[in-house]
Amino acid sequence: MKRSGTAPCSLHRDDTNNNQKWSVYILLCADKTLYTGISNDVPRRVADHQSGVGARYTRGRSPVRLLYQEPCLDKSSALKREYAIKRLSRGEKIKLIKVKGSKNA
């Protein structure tokens, strides 16, 4: 069974072994590129990107702005969702941001 690249993180399963709340997020960089990542503390991770200690990709592309955040069940589902989002075209990512709304961020 092939999964759609836009399927959201699974939030219906009870995961009592992991209290960390993982999210996938999309940032808009100063050069207008989009960066997708995961974190269990998105505000801290955005601050890392802003200060230049985040991902190598965002270094030198600050300031960054959080456009989208999607909660996930666990780290595994966040990684799978991140991979799916990274495979989307820029236009598809923008559509995802608009459809889901920046209110998720």
CATH number for position 79: 3.40.1440.10
Q: Evaluate whether residue 29 is within a structural domain.
A: yes
Report the chain's terminal Cα–Cα distance, integer Å: 31
CB 22 within 8 A of CB 5: no
Q: Evaluate whether residue 6 is within a structural domain.
A: no
pLDDT at 97 > cutoff 70:
yes
Q: Evaluate whether residue 79 is within a structural domain.
A: yes
SS3 content of the chain, % helix, strand, coil (to 5): 35, 20, 45
What is the number of structural domains in the chain?
A: 1
Give the residue-averaged pLDDT of 73-102.
Answer: 94
> Which amino acid, 78?
A
Give the rounded percent of residues in the chain with a pLDDT score beyond 90: 68
Domain interval for residue 55: 22-104
What is the chain's alpha carbon radius of gyration, rounded to the nearest angstrom?
A: 14
Q: Evaluate whether residue 53 is within a structural domain.
A: yes
Q: Evaluate whether residue 54 is within a structural domain.
A: yes
Place of tokens 């966040």: 78
**The whole model's pTM is what?**
0.80
Q: What is the pLDDT of residues 7-56, one digit of tens each?
A: 566 544 444 444 679 999 999 999 999 999 999 999 999 999 999 888 88
